[in-house]
Amino acid sequence: MINRREFNRDLFVGLASAASFEPAFGMAQGTHPPYPGALTVSMSGGLTDVEGIKVGHFTDHRRPTGCTVILCEKGGFTGVDVRGGAPGTRETDLLRPINTVQRAYAIVLSGGSAFGLDAASGVMRYLDEKGVGFKVGKAGVVPIVPAAILFDLEIGDPKIRPTAESGYAACQVAGAGPVIEGNVGAGAGATVGKLFGMQHAMKSGLGTASIRVGKTGVVVAAIVAVNAVGDVYNPASGEIVAGARAPSGKEFIDSMARIRAGYNVELFSQADTNTTIGVVATNATLTKTEMTKVAQMAHDGLARTINPVHTPWDGDTIFALATATLKEPVNHGMIGALAAEVMAQAVLRAVASAAGIDGLPSYRDLLAASRNP
């Protein structure tokens, strides 16, 4: 049995090796080919396929960064589940099943780290002007607007971040039509594959997907900004489609293969630039407690497509919202299972729709390079 001194010695050796791991990269070390072929996403549609929901983006192209607002002006029964170790959130305690308020009237996903939480204030102002929110007697209404942020301050000027005005602007353009994906809103500054530092990362973005369940009338949908420390996999093939790149740019490092081989992460200064945040929604009539379970199950969609996920450096957060426009009774466990499916597809669409920026190529860039060597 190894003693503590030997364990610490081996751990130190592993960390030291990580500082000079680049020459060891290569296919024999567990890397994956960077061009797994065209990624087929099996679900189309988006979050606005759920009746009663509008989506609006604000994108600040100077950095880039931005925020995405999900409006549900009639109120939606809302739950949340936070799995990452470094979350940045607002009003999530209120969504606990034991607490009083049952409905949210908007949800905000934002870049800008904790600064980006201010975007929710602009959304509150927008809803307050329209008289939308939790009724509180003579005071009128208090708009309930939960929010979550991701860390994208490593991209461009960190002094540029979403503000209350950004959230208000996103509300002004929100609509029930098709949702724009890619380098927009909360996904504008999103990246993936950062276990070995930003120099090996790739550009990601924001994606959405939906499913109409047979002839039941049930719709389940998801929207997600993918800013993970881990790599993104196609669960249908098991191949990496976006993630940490080897220095040559000709292979994926395969972060989990490196971890299994004993390499440890030394670049802790780079490990805080993460977090995947999203919303799943349904038209079903479900309670806040049931939607909390749906939010929990939806995280399985992240686990199927991102590895590693829910790390100490990710603040992975998923909200779940039911608009209750479909009155027939439904099984919330089945809604949770479907939520995981659409979340996985939304993650893939976030990667597939992203465009590369300086120093951070996208999946589309790698695919184009493979077709035009």
Give the domains, in start order, of the chain with CATH numbers: 4-371 (3.60.70.12)
Q: Give the sign of the dihedral formed by CA 111, CA 144, CA 299, CA 85.
A: positive
In the predicted model, what is the mean pLDDT of residues 111-119? Answer: 97
Residue range 271-290, pLDDT digits in tens? 557 899 999 999 999 999 99
How is residue 198 written in tokens?
């930003």
The overall average pLDDT reported for the chain is: 86
Secondary structure of 7-72 in HEC code, one letter for each residue:
HHHHHHHHHHHHCCCHHHCCHHHCCECCCCCCCCCCCCCCHHHCCCCEEEEEEECCCCEEEEEEEE
**Is residue 34 pLDDT above 50, yes or no?**
no
Query: Residue 26's pLDDT is what?
Result: 28
Query: Residue 313's pLDDT is what?
Result: 86
Residue range 41-90, pLDDT digits in tens? 666 799 999 999 999 999 999 999 999 999 999 999 999 999 998 999 99
Q: How far apart are CA 158 and CA 146, in angstroms?
A: 24
Residue range 249-267, pLDDT digits in tens? 768 999 999 888 876 655 4
Q: For residues 179 and 186, is the Cβ–Cβ distance under 8 A? A: no
Q: Which of 343, 274, 351 is nearest to 310 (CA)?
A: 274
User: Do the strands 134-135 and 103-110 form a parallel or antiparallel pair, or are they unpaired?
Assistant: unpaired
The residues that bridge with 203 in the sheet, in sequence order, are: 191
